[in-house]
Amino acid sequence: MPLADATADGTPLPGSVSAGQVAALLRTRGADRKALFARADEVRRARMGDDVFLRGIVEFSNICGRNCLYCGIRASNRAVHRYRMDADEILAVARNMVGWQQTTIVLQSGEAVSPAGDRQLGDLIRRIKAETTLSVTISVGNRSRDVYAHWRDCGMDRYLLRFETSDRDLFATIHADCTLDERLECLHILRDLGVQVGSGFMIGVPGETLDILANNILLCRDLDLDMIGIGPFIPHPETPLGDTTNAYADDPDMHFVALATLRLANSDAHIPATTAFDAVFTNPSGRDLALQRGANVFMPNSTPGKYRKDYMLYPDKPCVDETGALCAFCIVGRLEMLDRQIGVGPGHSRKRADGANPSSSA
Protein backbone atom coordinates (compact mmCIF):
# COMPACT_ATOMS: atom_id res chain seq x y z
CA MET A 1 0.00 0.00 0.00
CA PRO A 2 1.44 3.42 -0.91
CA LEU A 3 1.89 5.64 2.11
CA ALA A 4 0.55 8.69 0.28
CA ASP A 5 0.06 10.28 -3.06
CA ALA A 6 3.23 12.11 -4.05
CA THR A 7 4.70 14.92 -6.08
CA ALA A 8 7.37 14.32 -8.69
CA ASP A 9 10.13 14.31 -6.08
CA GLY A 10 8.32 11.69 -4.00
CA THR A 11 7.06 14.13 -1.38
CA PRO A 12 3.44 13.55 -0.31
CA LEU A 13 1.03 16.32 -1.12
CA PRO A 14 -0.28 18.04 2.04
CA GLY A 15 -3.24 16.13 3.41
CA SER A 16 -3.15 13.51 0.66
CA VAL A 17 -3.23 10.53 3.02
CA SER A 18 -6.77 9.17 3.00
CA ALA A 19 -8.84 8.21 6.03
CA GLY A 20 -8.48 4.57 5.04
CA GLN A 21 -4.72 4.90 4.82
CA VAL A 22 -4.52 6.53 8.25
CA ALA A 23 -6.41 3.63 9.81
CA ALA A 24 -4.26 1.09 7.95
CA LEU A 25 -1.00 2.79 8.94
CA LEU A 26 -1.96 2.69 12.60
CA ARG A 27 -2.26 -1.09 12.30
CA THR A 28 1.21 -1.65 10.84
CA ARG A 29 3.57 -4.02 12.59
CA GLY A 30 7.18 -5.20 12.37
CA ALA A 31 9.15 -4.16 9.29
CA ASP A 32 6.22 -2.07 8.05
CA ARG A 33 6.55 0.11 11.14
CA LYS A 34 10.21 0.72 10.45
CA ALA A 35 9.29 1.72 6.91
CA LEU A 36 6.61 4.05 8.27
CA PHE A 37 9.07 5.74 10.63
CA ALA A 38 11.60 6.18 7.81
CA ARG A 39 8.96 7.61 5.47
CA ALA A 40 7.76 10.07 8.11
CA ASP A 41 11.34 11.26 8.59
CA GLU A 42 11.76 11.67 4.82
CA VAL A 43 8.58 13.74 4.62
CA ARG A 44 9.67 15.85 7.59
CA ARG A 45 12.99 16.56 5.91
CA ALA A 46 11.43 17.32 2.52
CA ARG A 47 8.65 19.56 3.81
CA MET A 48 10.16 21.13 6.96
CA GLY A 49 13.93 20.78 6.54
CA ASP A 50 16.53 19.74 9.11
CA ASP A 51 16.19 22.80 11.33
CA VAL A 52 14.78 22.14 14.80
CA PHE A 53 13.11 25.22 16.24
CA LEU A 54 13.34 25.68 19.99
CA ARG A 55 10.19 26.87 21.72
CA GLY A 56 10.84 27.29 25.42
CA ILE A 57 7.96 26.58 27.77
CA VAL A 58 7.49 28.82 30.80
CA GLU A 59 4.90 27.32 33.13
CA PHE A 60 4.05 30.62 34.78
CA SER A 61 1.16 29.41 36.95
CA ASN A 62 -0.35 26.12 38.07
CA ILE A 63 -3.59 27.70 39.28
CA CYS A 64 -6.48 26.02 37.46
CA GLY A 65 -10.25 26.19 37.64
CA ARG A 66 -10.83 23.01 35.63
CA ASN A 67 -11.14 19.42 36.83
CA CYS A 68 -9.93 17.40 33.86
CA LEU A 69 -9.76 13.81 35.06
CA TYR A 70 -6.16 13.18 33.96
CA CYS A 71 -4.35 16.38 34.94
CA GLY A 72 -2.08 16.67 37.97
CA ILE A 73 -2.86 20.36 38.52
CA ARG A 74 -6.65 19.94 38.35
CA ALA A 75 -8.54 22.23 40.72
CA SER A 76 -9.53 19.42 43.11
CA ASN A 77 -5.95 18.20 43.68
CA ARG A 78 -5.27 19.62 47.16
CA ALA A 79 -1.75 18.18 47.19
CA VAL A 80 -0.52 20.83 44.73
CA HIS A 81 1.34 23.89 45.99
CA ARG A 82 -0.11 26.68 43.84
CA TYR A 83 2.00 29.51 42.43
CA ARG A 84 2.01 32.32 39.87
CA MET A 85 5.17 33.97 38.55
CA ASP A 86 5.17 37.76 38.37
CA ALA A 87 5.80 39.66 35.14
CA ASP A 88 9.35 40.75 35.94
CA GLU A 89 10.33 37.18 36.75
CA ILE A 90 8.91 35.96 33.44
CA LEU A 91 10.69 38.76 31.55
CA ALA A 92 14.00 37.74 33.11
CA VAL A 93 13.50 34.20 31.81
CA ALA A 94 12.52 35.51 28.38
CA ARG A 95 15.74 37.51 28.08
CA ASN A 96 17.77 34.41 28.98
CA MET A 97 15.94 32.36 26.38
CA VAL A 98 17.31 34.53 23.57
CA GLY A 99 20.82 33.53 24.60
CA TRP A 100 19.74 29.88 24.73
CA GLN A 101 18.77 30.03 21.02
CA GLN A 102 15.09 29.66 21.86
CA THR A 103 13.14 31.85 19.46
CA THR A 104 9.65 31.37 20.89
CA ILE A 105 8.39 31.64 24.45
CA VAL A 106 5.39 29.43 25.23
CA LEU A 107 3.52 30.88 28.19
CA GLN A 108 1.57 28.00 29.68
CA SER A 109 -0.61 27.79 32.77
CA GLY A 110 -3.63 26.15 34.26
CA GLU A 111 -6.95 27.51 33.11
CA ALA A 112 -7.86 30.23 35.57
CA VAL A 113 -10.29 32.65 33.92
CA SER A 114 -9.85 36.11 35.42
CA PRO A 115 -10.45 39.46 33.66
CA ALA A 116 -7.65 41.04 35.67
CA GLY A 117 -5.31 38.15 34.93
CA ASP A 118 -6.15 38.29 31.23
CA ARG A 119 -5.32 42.01 31.11
CA GLN A 120 -2.04 41.36 32.92
CA LEU A 121 -1.17 38.65 30.41
CA GLY A 122 -1.80 41.10 27.58
CA ASP A 123 0.55 43.61 29.22
CA LEU A 124 3.17 40.87 29.58
CA ILE A 125 2.88 39.96 25.89
CA ARG A 126 3.50 43.60 24.96
CA ARG A 127 6.60 43.74 27.15
CA ILE A 128 8.04 40.52 25.75
CA LYS A 129 7.53 41.75 22.18
CA ALA A 130 9.03 45.15 23.00
CA GLU A 131 12.02 43.93 25.03
CA THR A 132 13.03 40.70 23.25
CA THR A 133 13.09 39.15 19.77
CA LEU A 134 10.93 36.23 20.85
CA SER A 135 7.73 35.08 19.21
CA VAL A 136 4.95 34.52 21.74
CA THR A 137 2.74 31.47 22.07
CA ILE A 138 0.01 31.42 24.72
CA SER A 139 -1.54 28.25 26.17
CA VAL A 140 -4.02 28.98 28.96
CA GLY A 141 -7.24 27.28 27.81
CA ASN A 142 -10.63 28.42 26.58
CA ARG A 143 -11.29 32.14 26.32
CA SER A 144 -13.76 34.45 24.58
CA ARG A 145 -13.19 35.99 21.16
CA ASP A 146 -12.63 39.39 22.75
CA VAL A 147 -9.85 38.08 24.98
CA TYR A 148 -8.11 36.26 22.14
CA ALA A 149 -8.38 39.38 19.97
CA HIS A 150 -6.89 41.52 22.74
CA TRP A 151 -3.92 39.19 23.13
CA ARG A 152 -3.44 39.16 19.36
CA ASP A 153 -3.43 42.95 19.35
CA CYS A 154 -0.85 42.89 22.14
CA GLY A 155 1.45 40.83 19.90
CA MET A 156 0.53 37.18 20.50
CA ASP A 157 1.74 35.16 17.52
CA ARG A 158 0.34 31.72 18.29
CA TYR A 159 -2.10 29.94 20.53
CA LEU A 160 -1.91 26.33 21.69
CA LEU A 161 -5.12 24.58 22.75
CA ARG A 162 -5.22 20.80 22.53
CA PHE A 163 -8.56 19.12 21.87
CA GLU A 164 -7.14 15.91 23.47
CA THR A 165 -9.62 13.55 21.77
CA SER A 166 -11.95 13.82 18.79
CA ASP A 167 -14.53 11.49 20.36
CA ARG A 168 -17.31 13.54 21.95
CA ASP A 169 -18.30 10.89 24.48
CA LEU A 170 -14.71 10.31 25.57
CA PHE A 171 -14.10 14.06 25.73
CA ALA A 172 -17.17 14.48 27.96
CA THR A 173 -15.87 11.74 30.26
CA ILE A 174 -12.47 13.31 30.86
CA HIS A 175 -13.54 16.99 30.73
CA ALA A 176 -16.53 17.36 33.04
CA ASP A 177 -16.72 21.16 32.72
CA CYS A 178 -16.13 21.67 28.98
CA THR A 179 -17.40 20.23 25.70
CA LEU A 180 -15.51 19.30 22.56
CA ASP A 181 -17.65 21.75 20.58
CA GLU A 182 -16.61 24.58 22.90
CA ARG A 183 -12.96 23.66 22.45
CA LEU A 184 -13.27 23.47 18.67
CA GLU A 185 -15.09 26.81 18.57
CA CYS A 186 -12.12 28.41 20.33
CA LEU A 187 -9.80 26.99 17.67
CA HIS A 188 -12.01 28.33 14.88
CA ILE A 189 -12.12 31.78 16.52
CA LEU A 190 -8.33 31.86 16.74
CA ARG A 191 -8.00 30.91 13.08
CA ASP A 192 -10.51 33.62 12.13
CA LEU A 193 -8.47 36.18 14.11
CA GLY A 194 -5.37 35.39 12.07
CA VAL A 195 -3.47 33.78 14.95
CA GLN A 196 -1.30 30.76 14.22
CA VAL A 197 -3.13 27.83 15.78
CA GLY A 198 -1.73 24.81 17.58
CA SER A 199 -3.69 21.89 18.94
CA GLY A 200 -3.33 18.13 19.33
CA PHE A 201 -4.23 15.18 21.48
CA MET A 202 -3.16 12.61 24.04
CA ILE A 203 -2.32 9.14 22.75
CA GLY A 204 -3.82 6.24 24.64
CA VAL A 205 -6.46 7.85 26.85
CA PRO A 206 -8.34 5.00 28.57
CA GLY A 207 -11.24 4.13 26.29
CA GLU A 208 -9.47 5.20 23.11
CA THR A 209 -9.61 2.84 20.13
CA LEU A 210 -7.56 2.83 16.94
CA ASP A 211 -10.54 4.31 15.12
CA ILE A 212 -10.64 7.21 17.58
CA LEU A 213 -6.90 7.67 17.21
CA ALA A 214 -7.30 7.77 13.43
CA ASN A 215 -10.04 10.38 13.80
CA ASN A 216 -7.77 12.43 16.07
CA ILE A 217 -5.19 12.58 13.30
CA LEU A 218 -7.79 13.42 10.67
CA LEU A 219 -9.30 16.16 12.85
CA CYS A 220 -5.86 17.79 13.03
CA ARG A 221 -5.84 17.87 9.24
CA ASP A 222 -9.42 19.19 9.04
CA LEU A 223 -8.51 22.01 11.44
CA ASP A 224 -5.57 22.97 9.18
CA LEU A 225 -3.34 23.39 12.22
CA ASP A 226 -0.04 25.25 12.15
CA MET A 227 1.39 23.16 14.99
CA ILE A 228 0.28 19.79 16.34
CA GLY A 229 1.39 18.61 19.76
CA ILE A 230 0.75 15.02 20.77
CA GLY A 231 2.09 12.81 23.53
CA PRO A 232 1.39 9.66 25.55
CA PHE A 233 -1.30 9.62 28.21
CA ILE A 234 0.48 9.11 31.55
CA PRO A 235 -1.77 8.48 34.58
CA HIS A 236 -1.24 10.80 37.55
CA PRO A 237 -1.86 9.15 40.95
CA GLU A 238 -3.67 12.20 42.38
CA THR A 239 -6.38 12.12 39.69
CA PRO A 240 -9.49 10.00 39.03
CA LEU A 241 -7.58 8.25 36.22
CA GLY A 242 -4.61 7.54 38.45
CA ASP A 243 -5.22 3.78 38.58
CA THR A 244 -5.79 3.36 34.85
CA THR A 245 -3.27 2.46 32.16
CA ASN A 246 -2.49 3.81 28.72
CA ALA A 247 -4.60 2.15 26.05
CA TYR A 248 -1.37 1.07 24.32
CA ALA A 249 0.53 -0.05 27.41
CA ASP A 250 1.15 -3.42 25.75
CA ASP A 251 2.41 -1.76 22.56
CA PRO A 252 4.22 1.47 23.52
CA ASP A 253 5.64 1.96 20.01
CA MET A 254 2.08 2.82 18.98
CA HIS A 255 2.84 6.34 20.24
CA PHE A 256 5.46 6.69 17.50
CA VAL A 257 3.19 5.05 14.94
CA ALA A 258 0.67 7.80 15.71
CA LEU A 259 3.39 10.46 15.41
CA ALA A 260 4.66 9.16 12.06
CA THR A 261 1.14 8.83 10.66
CA LEU A 262 0.38 12.34 11.86
CA ARG A 263 3.35 13.65 9.87
CA LEU A 264 2.16 11.93 6.69
CA ALA A 265 -1.35 13.30 7.11
CA ASN A 266 -0.16 16.81 8.11
CA SER A 267 3.07 17.19 6.16
CA ASP A 268 3.39 21.00 6.48
CA ALA A 269 2.62 21.37 10.19
CA HIS A 270 5.17 21.97 12.91
CA ILE A 271 5.18 18.90 15.15
CA PRO A 272 7.06 19.06 18.46
CA ALA A 273 8.87 16.25 20.22
CA THR A 274 6.93 16.71 23.45
CA THR A 275 8.34 16.11 26.92
CA ALA A 276 5.98 13.22 27.65
CA PHE A 277 7.86 11.08 25.12
CA ASP A 278 10.93 11.31 27.38
CA ALA A 279 8.85 10.23 30.37
CA VAL A 280 7.78 7.01 28.63
CA PHE A 281 10.90 6.22 26.59
CA THR A 282 14.31 6.61 28.21
CA ASN A 283 16.82 4.52 26.25
CA PRO A 284 17.10 5.90 23.70
CA SER A 285 15.39 9.14 24.64
CA GLY A 286 11.78 9.41 23.52
CA ARG A 287 12.19 12.96 22.24
CA ASP A 288 15.23 11.95 20.20
CA LEU A 289 13.22 9.15 18.63
CA ALA A 290 10.34 11.56 17.96
CA LEU A 291 12.71 13.86 16.05
CA GLN A 292 13.64 10.88 13.88
CA ARG A 293 10.04 9.83 13.26
CA GLY A 294 8.36 13.03 12.09
CA ALA A 295 8.85 15.79 14.68
CA ASN A 296 10.72 19.01 13.87
CA VAL A 297 10.28 21.21 16.98
CA PHE A 298 11.81 20.86 20.46
CA MET A 299 10.11 22.44 23.44
CA PRO A 300 12.60 22.73 26.32
CA ASN A 301 11.36 23.52 29.79
CA SER A 302 12.48 27.07 30.58
CA THR A 303 10.49 27.34 33.81
CA PRO A 304 12.67 28.39 36.77
CA GLY A 305 13.74 25.34 38.76
CA LYS A 306 11.96 26.32 41.96
CA TYR A 307 8.56 25.99 40.24
CA ARG A 308 9.03 22.87 38.16
CA LYS A 309 8.10 20.32 40.82
CA ASP A 310 4.76 22.11 41.28
CA TYR A 311 3.78 21.86 37.60
CA MET A 312 3.42 18.09 37.43
CA LEU A 313 0.74 17.34 34.86
CA TYR A 314 1.88 13.71 35.04
CA PRO A 315 4.38 11.84 37.26
CA ASP A 316 8.08 11.34 36.47
CA LYS A 317 8.17 14.47 34.34
CA PRO A 318 11.72 14.88 32.95
CA CYS A 319 14.10 17.72 33.78
CA VAL A 320 12.33 18.74 37.01
CA ASP A 321 15.65 19.11 38.85
CA GLU A 322 17.48 20.98 36.06
CA THR A 323 17.87 24.66 35.22
CA GLY A 324 16.99 26.41 31.99
CA ALA A 325 20.65 26.88 31.16
CA LEU A 326 21.41 23.19 31.67
CA CYS A 327 18.43 22.19 29.53
CA ALA A 328 19.67 24.53 26.80
CA PHE A 329 23.15 22.98 26.89
CA CYS A 330 21.68 19.47 26.79
CA ILE A 331 19.55 20.27 23.74
CA VAL A 332 22.56 21.38 21.69
CA GLY A 333 24.27 18.06 22.36
CA ARG A 334 21.17 16.04 21.54
CA LEU A 335 20.68 17.79 18.21
CA GLU A 336 24.33 17.41 17.27
CA MET A 337 24.06 13.67 17.87
CA LEU A 338 21.07 13.59 15.52
CA ASP A 339 22.89 15.65 12.87
CA ARG A 340 20.25 18.38 13.16
CA GLN A 341 20.77 22.10 13.67
CA ILE A 342 18.91 24.67 15.72
CA GLY A 343 16.50 26.72 13.65
CA VAL A 344 17.17 30.45 13.34
CA GLY A 345 14.32 32.94 13.37
CA PRO A 346 10.75 32.67 14.63
CA GLY A 347 9.90 29.39 12.89
CA HIS A 348 6.50 30.65 11.85
CA SER A 349 3.93 28.48 10.14
CA ARG A 350 4.81 27.24 6.66
CA LYS A 351 1.12 27.37 5.77
CA ARG A 352 0.49 31.10 5.97
CA ALA A 353 1.66 33.88 3.66
CA ASP A 354 4.40 35.09 6.00
CA GLY A 355 3.46 33.47 9.30
CA ALA A 356 3.65 36.77 11.17
CA ASN A 357 0.92 38.17 13.39
CA PRO A 358 -0.24 41.28 11.47
CA SER A 359 -0.77 43.05 14.78
CA SER A 360 2.71 42.28 16.07
CA SER A 361 5.45 44.87 16.01
CA ALA A 362 8.20 42.22 16.02
Write down the pLDDT at residue 351. 86
Query: Range with the lowest mean pLDDT among 10-14, 39-43, 77-81?
Result: 10-14
15: Cβ–Cβ under 8 A, 6 or more apart, which residues? Answer: 221, 265, 266, 267
**pLDDT score at 209:** 96
More confident residue, 284 or 210: 210
| Confidence at 8, pLDDT banded by 50, 70, 90 | very low
Task: Tally Cβ neighbours within 10 Å of residue 249.
Answer: 15
Return the CATH architecture of domain 19-342. Alpha-Beta Barrel (3.20)
Predicted pLDDT at 356: 58
Give the Å distances, CA to CA, from 293 to 119, 189, 263: 40, 31, 8
Q: Quote the CA–CA distance of 161 and 142 in Å, as a whole number.
A: 8
Mean pLDDT computed over 18-40 = 95
What pLDDT score does 15 carry? 53
Domain residue extents for the chain = 19-342
Q: What is the per-residue pLDDT across 312-349, written as a single tens digit (0 to 9) for each?
A: 999 988 878 766 666 777 888 889 999 999 999 999 99
pLDDT digits 0-9 by tens, 95-141 = 999 999 999 999 999 998 888 999 999 999 999 999 999 999 999 99
pLDDT at 326: 63
